[in-house]
Amino acid sequence: MSSSIPTVLPLVTKLRNYAALSPQEEQVLDEAVAGIREYESGQDIVVEGTSPNHSSLLLSGLAGRFNMSVEGKRQITSLHIAGDFVDLHSFLIKPMDHSIVALGTCRIATVPHATLTAITEQHPRLTRLLWLNTLIDAGTHRRWEFCLGTLQGHQHLAHLVCEMYLRLKQISQADNNSFHLPITQGVLSECLAQSVVHTNRVVQQLRAENVISWERDLITIKDWDRLAEMGEFDPTYLRMPVSDGLTAA
Amino acid sequence: MSSSIPTVLPLVTKLRNYAALSPQEEQVLDEAVAGIREYESGQDIVVEGTSPNHSSLLLSGLAGRFNMSVEGKRQITSLHIAGDFVDLHSFLIKPMDHSIVALGTCRIATVPHATLTAITEQHPRLTRLLWLNTLIDAGTHRRWEFCLGTLQGHQHLAHLVCEMYLRLKQISQADNNSFHLPITQGVLSECLAQSVVHTNRVVQQLRAENVISWERDLITIKDWDRLAEMGEFDPTYLRMPVSDGLTAA
DNA sequence: CGAGTATTTGACGAAGCTCAATACCTGTGG
DNA sequence: CCACAGGTATTGAGCTTCGTCAAATACTCG
């Protein structure tokens, strides 16, 4: 379902950060889209245990991967923004070992797994780029493990704010040290693995220390250096700069 | 550096669990090995910040991925056993955003990144298998996030024991509900993100509740059902059974 | 045996959780 | 325009899990 304005623009924009894309490769991506879906806040986009035959590319909105515990606690393991191929891995891994939920209205482009297989047959360079995309996801999971394991509550929040700022900036949805993050403290607490009460206190602590402001859904970073230091933030895992190894030898 | 006995046997054994490998594909993998290295316990196999030009395939031994915090705390984000391609991702992601340490004597086969690129150019099916390999790693990271975020200390240990048992069983290094895991409680505490003291108490708790025994480096699972229940263990993420989508359409 | 490392135990403190109540905010109907 | 309802944020108090500090015991290997 290609059009004059490529629907995959958010993904293309992101992939261009890693390596140049030929017009042909961009066209292949654009033609891979089989349809567009919309999800309301709270709806599950992909459900644990199912084996989808397509992958979902987030065109706009905020989504989260999560697992439920036996007692019903929801652990969010990553957040996703426009341009993220939220379940690209479901192409090779089935059934899903986790769910993906819309944390706001989400527009999704669906890409059939058969098309992805065809890409791996015919477009090795694009294949490596998509592979890289999943590897960056993995790196983010590793970083979240680090945060969960070794950082204190306020540090963890600081780290998350740094991460979301850089990622949103990469897709031009952050500027002047501020960005919109339309999530409640309840959802935030599911990312940080804290109680809502404690998350609230941690947010207030960062406000009191004057490193961020957070009103409504608008976060403003008032002191990047202190925030990054507090969260032990090192952006290496986000692979913002151009990466080598993607061009065929 | 191929030989009559393929050096990549541990990896091939593992990949066969996901899809059949043609003799030619096995040969490609075997010929991809450029050399063999050995590391002593405690040595870093790959160092954060570097950009290796080869990836490391673990032939024997135990290794761990980790990140260091500012205060010097080491967070281990995954454990690796024979057959694991411990830094396959360094092929596309550089520089390394974490290090890999030998947690015992490790034999490593090195595979040049140029060879991996060539594989993606010529062997799409093998490419998908290797990609899958990294996706399973990512799924494991997600699961560890869940454990770190939502499980209590003793549950987390229970989960880890379940995971290592199944993974070691897959490569025929576990039987009769028991296996060798040559790590100290200090290293274990770095996986679980606990203090050594607390890890010790948690180990004793599982012993006292008679779900495992742990003497020297020999772990025996005395009650799998209770252990799995305690750790909320669901093996889906390990992709033990055969997976679809690997065979070209 | 003895040094070094690993495990175990006890006592106390800190980070964060639960319960419970209050304040706030936004949209809706009267 | 106001009052209300339902969700969200905030605050307080007591409690649990786990960390820290310190010491004792056990194990390993030369």
Across all residues in chain A, what is the average pLDDT? Answer: 93
Residue B248 has pLDDT above 50, yes or no: no
The percent of residues in chain B predicted with pLDDT above 90, rounded, is: 88
Helices in chain A by DSSP H: which ranges?
9-15, 23-32, 113-122, 124-150, 153-170, 185-192, 196-208, 224-230
Give the SS3 label for residue A78.
strand
Q: Which residues 6+ apart lie within 8 Å of B202 measured at CB?
A: B153, B154, B156, B157, B192, B194
B201: the nucleotide nearest its CA (via C1') is: C8
Residue B246 has pLDDT above 60, yes or no: no
pLDDT at A157: 98
pLDDT at B5: 72
pLDDT confidence tier of residue A96, bands split at 50, 70 and 90: very high
Residues forming a β-bridge with B218:
B180, B215
| Residues within 8 A of A (CB atoms), B 122-161 only | 124, 127-128, 131-132, 134-139, 141-146, 148-151
Segment B63-72 shows an average pLDDT of: 97
pLDDT at A184: 96
Question: Å from A187 (CA) to D7 (C1')?
Answer: 14
Q: Which residues of B touch A233 (CB under 8 A)?
A: none
Half-sphere exposure of B230 (CA within 13 A, CB side): 25
The percent of residues in chain A predicted with pLDDT above 90, rounded, is: 88
For residue range B93-134, what is the model confidence (pLDDT) as tens digits? 999 999 999 999 999 999 999 999 999 999 999 999 999 999
| Residues within 8 A of B (CB atoms), A 167-196 only | 193
CB A82 within 8 A of CB A11: no
Residue B243 has pLDDT above 60, yes or no: no
Segment B157-172 shows an average pLDDT of: 96
pLDDT confidence tier of residue B153, bands split at 50, 70 and 90: very high
**Partner-chain residue, chosen from A92, A139, A141, that has the shortest CB–CB distance to B93:** A139
A215: the nucleotide nearest its CA (via C1') is: D9
Confidence (pTM): 0.94
Residue A246 has pLDDT above 70, yes or no: no
pLDDT confidence tier of residue A5, bands split at 50, 70 and 90: confident
pLDDT at A1: 47
Question: Å from A186 (CA) to D8 (C1')?
Answer: 9
- Domains, chain A, ordered by start: 9-144 (2.60.120.10), 152-231 (1.10.10.10)
Is some CB atom of chain A closer than 8 A to the CB atom of B214? no
Residue B190 has pLDDT above 90, yes or no: yes
Q: Which residues 6+ apart lie within 8 Å of B241 measured at CB?
A: B17
pLDDT at B4: 60
Reading the block at residue A181, the tokens are: 């993050």
pLDDT confidence tier of residue B1, bands split at 50, 70 and 90: very low
Reading the block at residue A119, the tokens are: 């890409």
Closest CA to A115 of A29, A32, A12: A32
**Partner-chain residue, chosen from B97, B136, B143, that has the shortest CB–CB distance to A236:** B97
Query: Which stretch, A10-24, A37-51, B4-18, has highest mean pLDDT?
Result: A37-51
For residue range B132-150, what is the model confidence (pLDDT) as tens digits? 999 999 999 999 999 999 9
Across all residues in chain B, what is the average pLDDT? Answer: 93
